[in-house]
Chain A
Amino acid sequence: MWKWLHPYAKGEATYRLLGLWQPWLSGLALIFVTVGLVWGLFYAPPDYQQGDSYRIIFIHVPSAMFSMGAYTGMAIAALIALVWQIRTAEWAIAAIAPVGATLTFVALFTGAVWGKPMWGTWWEWDARLTSQLILLFLYIGVLALYYAFNDARTGAKAAAILALVGVINVPIIHFSVYWWNSLHQGATITKFEKPSMPPEMLIPLLISIAGFLFLTAALITQRLRNEILKQELHRPWAMEKLGVEANDGV
Chain B
Amino acid sequence: MNKASSWQLLSAVMRRDLAVALRRRSDVINPLLFVVIVVTLFPLAVGPGPDVLGRIATGVIWVAALLSSLLGSERLFRDDFLDGNLEQLVLSPAPLPFLALGKIVVHWLLSGLPLVILAPVCALLLKLPFEAWGTLMLTLLVGTPMLSAMTAVGAALTVSLGRGGALLSLLLLPLFIPLLIFAAAAVESTLVGTSAYGQVLLLAGLMLLTLTLAPLAVAAAIRVSVN
> What residues of chain A have their CB less than 8 Å away from a CB belonging to chain B?
82, 134, 137-138, 140-141, 144-145, 148-149, 154, 157-158, 161-162, 164-166, 168-169, 172-173, 175-177, 179-180, 183
Is B182 an interface residue, CB under 8 A from the partner?
Answer: yes
Q: Can you give 11 contacting A-B residue pairs, CB < 8 Å?
A: A137-B174, A145-B171, A148-B158, A154-B160, A162-B171, A165-B153, A172-B178, A173-B175, A173-B177, A176-B181, A183-B185
Q: Is the CB of A180 within 8 A of B224?
A: no
Please tell me the number of chain B residues within 8 Å of chain A, measured between CB atoms.
Answer: 24
B157's partner among A162, A175, A177, A183 (CB-CB below 8 A) is A162
Q: Is the CB of A161 within 8 A of B182?
A: no
Contacts of A180 in B (CB 8 A): 181, 185
| Residue-wise interface mask of B (3-34) relative to A, using a CB-CB cutoff of 8 A (1 in contact, 0 not) | 00000000000000000000000000000000
In the assembled complex, the CB of A174 is this many whole angstroms from the nearest CB of chain B, namely 9
Q: Is the CB of A166 within 8 A of B177?
A: no
> Could you tell me the distance between the alpha carbons of A165 and B217 in the complex, rounded to whole angstroms?
7
Contacts of B181 in A (CB 8 A): 176-177, 179-180
Given contacts A141-B174, A161-B221, A168-B213, contact A148 B167 (CB under 8 A): yes
Given contacts A176-B181, A177-B181, A180-B181, contact A161 B175 (CB under 8 A): no
Query: Considering only CB atoms, which chain B residue lies closest to A181 in the complex?
Result: B181
Q: Is the CB of B157 within 8 A of A176?
A: no
Contacts of A158 in B (CB 8 A): 157-158, 221, 224-225
Contacts of A149 in B (CB 8 A): 160-161
Contacts of B224 in A (CB 8 A): 154, 157-158, 161
In the assembled complex, the CB of A164 is this many whole angstroms from the nearest CB of chain B, namely 7
Q: Is the CB of B177 within 8 A of A176?
A: yes
Contacts of A161 in B (CB 8 A): 153, 157, 217, 220-221, 224
> Could you tell me the distance between the alpha carbons of A176 and B185 in the complex, rounded to whole angstroms?
10
Is B1 an interface residue, CB under 8 A from the partner?
Answer: no
In the assembled complex, the CB of A163 is this many whole angstroms from the nearest CB of chain B, namely 11
Contacts of B170 in A (CB 8 A): 137, 140-141, 144
Is B38 an interface residue, CB under 8 A from the partner?
Answer: no
Contacts of B161 in A (CB 8 A): 148-149
Is B88 an interface residue, CB under 8 A from the partner?
Answer: no
> Could you tell me the distance between the alpha carbons of A183 and B178 in the complex, rounded to whole angstroms?
14
Contacts of B157 in A (CB 8 A): 145, 158, 161-162
Contacts of B221 in A (CB 8 A): 158, 161
Contacts of A148 in B (CB 8 A): 158, 161, 167
Q: Is the CB of A176 within 8 A of B182?
A: yes
Q: Is the CB of A177 within 8 A of B177?
A: yes
Contacts of A169 in B (CB 8 A): 175, 178
Which of B157, B182, B217 is packed against the most chain A CB atoms within 10 Å?
A: B157
Contacts of A164 in B (CB 8 A): 217
Contacts of A173 in B (CB 8 A): 174-175, 177-178
> Could you tell me the distance between the alpha carbons of A180 and B199 in the complex, rounded to whole angstroms?
11
